[in-house]
Amino acid sequence: MKDEAFYRWITFLKKIRFGWLAPFFLLLKGEDPKTQCKAIFSGVMMPIFSILLFLWIWDLASKEIVTKFGTVPGPRQVWSAWKSLGNETRLERIKALEHQHRAREKRIVSAKKYKEVLNNFPGEMPTGLLSPGTEDALSTSSDAFQQANELLEVYNKISITLSKEEAQSVAALFQYETSRQYAEKVIQQALPLEIRHRERVEALRMAPEWNPSPDDPDKVVESKSALKKSESKKLAREKAILLIERQRYATEATKAAYALITSLPKSVRTLLAQSDKSASKLYPELKAWHENLLAEEAATGVKYAGKVKLKMLVKAFEYKPYPGKDTYFAQIATSLKTVFFGFCIASLIAIPIGIICGLSPNMNNAINPLIQIFKPVSPLAWLPIVMILVGALYVSDDPMFELSFLNSAITVALCSLWPTLVNTSLGVSSTDKDIMNVAKVLKLGWYKKVTKVIIPSAMPLIFTGLRLSLGVGWMVLIAAEMLAQNPGLGKFVWDMFQNGSSETLSMIMVAVFTIGIIGFMLDTIMLSLQELVSFD
């Protein structure tokens, strides 16, 4: 039985395009090594070989083409750009941690400092003077009082747990000290390279060939331009190497800093996270408490002595998220969210309509022209309409979704609707005639016929449609994001194109590979789902 499951798993792998893994499993299982090695050669070695060949040709070709941004990035530059994106993300994480740490410190300090407010509240205020409403409010806020005290305990505990040195070293880390040291090292190491590069540029400028001689200006200009061309190519290559070097050092620096930060004991980290969480929960209650008090003061004219301290305390507990910029990975996440949302909208519309179309030839004939007309429309044409319509219809003070997000999601939905719709209707209408006869003979009712016979038999085609839809959606998304300025991969590409730094091309290449790999993964996931619902 166990073997059967194993071979089912192998067949499944093959179906979802991971068949190249199968020979390894089969080897482990002890099957004929010769056959498996052959399979590994053709399934693993050949693709690797072709990828290497591609990289080699790319590398050679890239060195020869110079654009206004420098040489066309080769695989090495693109890899370095990918690393710099990772590095950027790491830096953002460090900064966010630093931000959290500062907030935490502030809370610990103010909690200690204004402890008496919590302990004595509302001691200084004669109860008789308060209106019944306020007394109620204060009695309910005694919960908050309780919690604030508990929290204070937690913070005290933390400061005890972390001994003075430890706290200091952590603080030092959060101060970004280590990474700064590394950054200095980077500059030191990359400096000679850069200096040499400058010297070369200077030497070239001073070279006699660069200055026209009065005897034969034409000849000199000719040789100059030829020289300039070859020299500029050389310089561009040097610069590319320099950039890669610099990137390597920078990555090393942040990696080390990040490693130090994340080396905090896990118990401490969870404790810190818990306290942060309860502090953020506490904030609205403290705030309400403070506002009540202000209102009471205004109504009764009785001044509360600890007012300022309370205000400071409230302020200390205010939770402000780190206002960092979107990292590359955050943008990928946004893109995925957008495409998934758009895909869900598309499926929710397309599957029911497809089923209706498939069931009734009349409906199919009615809807078919619309499908045929709208199907070939490009996302670029939909987007302005969507933007205007969504802008007009989706007006809310506290919008659940960003406008740009909705725009691109709806554009994705509009473009990825059709494959699902067409395939669903085809799947439903092409239910095997014999099977329909069976349903007739058994006198299945309409509902039973649709749910037990028609939809299950259409399932494989529905999923084929969904897979195509998701593919189309992912393609459309990039264009939509570029135009809608919705944070995401499309916008990333656009921004990179706009800012025109020396890394522009490599960054865009990174985006291209990311888009391709994610598209492949989405397709594989859908393919697996499709395999799960197919019957053979």
Residues at the site binding other proteins, with contacts judged by CB under 8 A: 3, 7, 26, 29-32, 35, 432, 434-435, 437-438, 440-445, 452-453, 456-457, 459, 533, 535-536
Q: Which tokens in the block code for residue 327?
A: 């990292």
Q: For residues 12 and 329, which CB has a smaller minimum distance to other proteins in the complex?
A: 12
- Min. distance of Cβ 451 from other proteins in angstroms? 12
∠242-247-250 over CA atoms, to 5°? 130
Q: Which tokens in the block code for residue 340?
A: 């998934």
Q: For residues 6 and 497, which CB has a smaller minimum distance to other proteins in the complex?
A: 6
State the DSSP code for 214. S
- Min. distance of Cβ 28 from other proteins in angstroms? 11
- Min. distance of Cβ 533 from other proteins in angstroms? 8
Contact present, 489 and 331 (Cβ < 8 Å): yes
- Min. distance of Cβ 3 from other proteins in angstroms? 5
Q: For residues 316 and 355, which CB has a smaller minimum distance to other proteins in the complex?
A: 355
Q: Which tokens in the block code for residue 90?
A: 């790491």
Q: For residues 35 and 168, which CB has a smaller minimum distance to other proteins in the complex?
A: 35
Q: For residues 2 and 266, which CB has a smaller minimum distance to other proteins in the complex?
A: 2
Q: For residues 35 and 378, which CB has a smaller minimum distance to other proteins in the complex?
A: 35
The partner residues of 40 in beta bridges, in order of sequence, read none
- Min. distance of Cβ 445 from other proteins in angstroms? 8
CA distances from 421 to 343, 355, 363 (A): 12, 8, 13
- Min. distance of Cβ 456 from other proteins in angstroms? 5
From the number of C-beta atoms within 10 Å of its C-beta (0-12, 13-18, 19+), residue 238 rates as: middle
Contact present, 23 and 43 (Cβ < 8 Å): yes
What's the rounded Cα separation, in Å, for the pair 241 and 247? 10
* Residue corresponding to tokens 């409230």: 314
Which long-range CB contacts under 8 A does 51-54 form with residues at least 24 apart?
A: none
State the DSSP code for 130. S
- Min. distance of Cβ 350 from other proteins in angstroms? 22
Q: For residues 112 and 440, which CB has a smaller minimum distance to other proteins in the complex?
A: 440
Give, rounded to a whole angstrom, the gap between the first and last alpha carbons of the chain.
19
Q: For residues 458 and 466, which CB has a smaller minimum distance to other proteins in the complex?
A: 458
Beta-carbon count within 10 A of 161 CB: 14
What's the rounded Cα separation, in Å, for the pair 162 and 275? 14
